[in-house]
Amino acid sequence: MRRTVFFVSDSTGITAETLGNSLLTQFDGLDFKRITLPFVDNHKTARAALSRIETAAVQDGARPLVFATMADPDLLDFLTDGRALVLDLFRVFIGPLEAELGLPSSHAKGRFHGMADNSTYDVRMDTLNFALTHDDGMSTARYPQADLVLLGVSRAGKTPTCIYLAMQFGVRAANYPLTEEDLTRQSLPKALVPIRLRLYGLTIDPERLHRIRSERRRHSAYASLNQCRKEITDAEALFRSERIRSLNVTSMSIEEIGSHLLQEMGLERRSF
Amino acid sequence: MRRTVFFVSDSTGITAETLGNSLLTQFDGLDFKRITLPFVDNHKTARAALSRIETAAVQDGARPLVFATMADPDLLDFLTDGRALVLDLFRVFIGPLEAELGLPSSHAKGRFHGMADNSTYDVRMDTLNFALTHDDGMSTARYPQADLVLLGVSRAGKTPTCIYLAMQFGVRAANYPLTEEDLTRQSLPKALVPIRLRLYGLTIDPERLHRIRSERRRHSAYASLNQCRKEITDAEALFRSERIRSLNVTSMSIEEIGSHLLQEMGLERRSF
């Protein structure tokens, strides 16, 4: 049976989506149709939201699930009048927090992910620019300013990891692709030696690497399973001989890789 | 008074961080120190977490706040024994969901943001690669495959927005910087004409643009307030005359820009 799931928010809906999806992964075998309704911050938009929820209820023949983050209690009450299970992520926790902190909450809508603070924006832009200009070994001049430099063979996941670290955590990450020459020589390129302690290796199972490379260049020598095996063997040998910590990312999401790196390198995040 | 806030999770902690931070924005004037403890998934790591929480309680002279996402009820019980306010994001909602769906939850730890599904990973990599190879007008050949193409002057926020749309939503976004020539001519570059309906303009207040550009190239003509004013006036005139929808992003976060674009362009997200 299909269930429609709504994420309704007076802001972007990211908080509702994140917790809602996290909860839904605990229920196997159901077919969820997800709809995000952001910027529901007045009675007109709330009426439109309720109308979509009611329509889904009729079409599915079952109550939709509504994950809501609304700072305005009136708008939330309005939604709960409909034919849906409304799980409000704010109201449940605001009470205990007010009691613990001894303060009333501000009930200010759309605060989170707002740009109350330009400095957070600037940090993310700075670190994102750093990741982009130091992608794929393009420039090594500012490596000493990097919080970490990821090493790995082509398509091991270095670029998305660097970008994620910049966007999510404000961490300044560069990446360096291990070349045929580095792998044959089995020693670090000179530019990396002074920052040895900030190096971190990414590795991946050859079969998965083969599949990823094949999507870009099918039937190439570059994508062949043999080539992938050889490069990974050499890269892992280099990490061992140079005592560079490394992580096998074969079955990890970008989020998991990012959290592991932050924790293992003891990095401070610059944005929350 | 300072309060220490812990985000404790059997996975990355992103869900706990997202909801926790969202709730904390409702309390003004407090000094929160945030600590994320990911991958707390056994009794050893839970003991270590509890020890850090207890230490913070002593140092602050006040109970720490703990936002937790733990699928294993035993581990959660263990944490709640300590001297902290533990707000569990799972337990509160799992019950009502089980009742509504008529199913027990799986209590599987670390499910969310895990790579259960390679296809989500592949979509994000594909769209991220698209954003990177179509950044800053570098290539226009594959514009017809773009879900949207962002237009704007240099430093208006096009690149981070494209990358965010790719990583968060699996949307294929390219961006094109409006050149002096485009702005003087007041007409669209040829490559953009066939995809007119997928164009979207980003604009920004000249003062903010001046500040952003000055951080990169202080005292340059490029960063001067006059130059910023002129370019923004011309860009907005071009959007109007070509009937291209646009958004002023001066006081918006990347998340807000992304949600607005998704909604206004009616784009389907490819990953959740």
Please say if the pLDDT value at position B109 is more than 90: no
Look at B94 and A23 and tell me if their CB atoms are within 8 Å: yes
* Contacts for A80 with CB less than 8 Å, ≥ 6 apart: A86, A88
Comparing alpha-carbon positions, the chain B residue that sits nearest to A132 is B132
* Contacts for B179 with CB less than 8 Å, ≥ 6 apart: none
Tell me which residue in B12, B90, B94 faces A259 most closely, judged by beta carbons: B12
Per DSSP, B242 falls in state T
State pLDDT tens for residues A16-67. 999 999 899 889 888 899 999 999 999 999 999 999 999 999 999 999 999 9
**Dist CA B16 CA B110 (whole Å):** 12
Q: What is the pLDDT of residue A117?
A: 59
Torsion angle, alpha carbons of B108, B111, B116, B120, to 10: 150
**Vertex B4 angle, CA A271 and B9, to 5°:** 70
CB B258 within 8 A of CB B249: no
Q: CB distance from A109 to chain B under 8 Å?
A: no
The pair of structure tokens assigned to A65 is 């699930």
Tell me the HSE value of A267 on the side-chain side, using a 13 A CA sphere. Answer: 27
* Higher pLDDT among residues B2 and A165, named by residue: A165
Torsion angle, alpha carbons of B266, B117, B129, A175, to 10: 140
| Interface-testing mutation among A10, A12, A67, A215, with chain B (most B C-beta atoms within 10 A) | A12
Residues 151-210 of A with CB under 8 A from B: 159-160, 163-164, 167
Q: CB distance from A3 to chain B under 8 Å?
A: yes
State pLDDT tens for residues B45-69. 999 999 999 999 999 999 999 999 9
Q: For helices A206-216 and A225-241, give the axis angle rounded to 10 degrees.
A: 130
Which residues in chain B have their CB less than 8 angstroms from residue A45's CB? none
Tell me how close the Cα of B185 comes to any Cα of chain A, in angstroms: 30
Q: What is the pLDDT of residue B110?
A: 59
CB A24 within 8 A of CB A5: yes
Which residues in chain B have their CB less than 8 angstroms from residue A169's CB? none
The burial of B147, by beta-carbon neighbours within 10 Å (0-12 exposed, 13-18 middle, 19 or more buried), is given as buried
Q: Average pLDDT, stretch B246-260?
A: 93
State pLDDT tens for residues A106-162. 877 665 544 445 677 888 888 999 999 898 888 888 899 999 999 999 999 999 999
CB atoms within 10 A of CB B272: 17
Residue ranges of domains in chain A, CATH in brackets? 2-101 (3.40.50), 118-264 (3.40.50)
Which residues in chain A have their CB less than 8 angstroms from residue B107's CB? 26
Q: Average pLDDT, stretch B143-148?
A: 94
pLDDT band of residue B111 (cuts 50, 70, 90) is low
Look at A38 and B258 and tell me if their CB atoms are within 8 Å: no
State pLDDT tens for residues B182-232. 999 999 999 999 999 999 999 999 999 999 999 888 999 999 999 999 999
Which residues in chain B have their CB less than 8 angstroms from residue A63's CB? 100
Which residues in chain B have their CB less than 8 angstroms from residue A167's CB? 160, 163-164, 167, 254
Q: Which of B153, B160, B150, B157 is nearest to B227 (CA)?
A: B153
**Dist CA A182 CA A64 (whole Å):** 56
Q: What is the pLDDT of residue A112?
A: 52
CB atoms within 10 A of CB A205: 15
